[in-house]
Amino acid sequence: MMNKQSLRDIKREATANALADAAFALALEKGMDGFVVEDVVQLAGYSRRTFANHYSCKEEAIASAALIFKGADEIGNWINSLNEDMSPLDILHQLMKLHLTGEHIGKLRQLVSFSRQHPTLEPYILSGLRRLQIMAQETLDEFSHERYPDGYTHLLAGAVYGAMLPILDGSLSVLLPGQSIAETPEAVTFDQYLDTMFGYLRNGF
């Protein structure tokens, strides 16, 4: 089960999130080259030293903003109420629906777009996506109770998060939660994409 955070951890996380959100907002407004770390700390209302306690550079802060999930409490409550007999595939399917909201995927898409002009962002994007994958895998491990072969949850989480990349880089036309079908009439919905992907995983390709 998920452990409750201490007040100190909650405050630290809130500070990191505020700095990351400020960096992301400035990147959208001014472009990657249009601001410096000093602008980030002024907008967020913190010191340069506080920024350095959380991030090594503005690129890391920007990437973190796109990878921050605002509904962690909802997911934590859902995980704590899980039936232990639920399969890893069903757990991951529901986890993806809860985790990847329209706002979250939209930010990730914007981050990938930034990285095309600024390759210095790429290592932070990859690191962040890897963290999300590891968190999902650890959740699966907690509820699988060694009922599956070694490596099963690694492969499953890797396959699912790998299938997200074509959505993020625009290779596949997928309608995000909150988008109107009129914007991209040929697109499938995100839920349809997830259901198809998990259908392949259940039934084989």
* Confidence at residue 2, expressed as pLDDT on a 0 to 100 scale: 47
Number of domains in the chain: 2
Please give the Cα distance from 178 to 187 (Å, whole number). 13
Q: pTM of the full predicted structure?
A: 0.77
* Confidence at residue 143, expressed as pLDDT on a 0 to 100 scale: 78
96 and 59 fall within a common domain:
no
* Confidence at residue 18, expressed as pLDDT on a 0 to 100 scale: 95
49 and 84 fall within a common domain:
no
Q: Dmax over Cα atoms in the chain, in whole Å?
A: 53
Long-range CB contacts for residues 117-123, cutoff 8 Å, separation at least 24: 117/32, 118/32, 118/59, 120/59, 121/32, 121/59, 121/62, 121/63
* Confidence at residue 72, expressed as pLDDT on a 0 to 100 scale: 59
Last residue of a domain, one of 30, 49, 65: 65
61 and 75 fall within a common domain:
no
171 and 87 fall within a common domain:
yes
Rg of the chain (C-alpha set): 18
* Confidence at residue 20, expressed as pLDDT on a 0 to 100 scale: 95
- Please identify which residue in the block is written with the tokens 């069903």: 90
* Confidence at residue 56, expressed as pLDDT on a 0 to 100 scale: 94
First to last CA, the chain: 33
* Confidence at residue 30, expressed as pLDDT on a 0 to 100 scale: 95
Contact present, 109 and 102 (Cβ < 8 Å): no
Which residues of the chain fall short of a pLDDT of 70? 1-5, 69-76, 78-80, 178, 182-185, 205
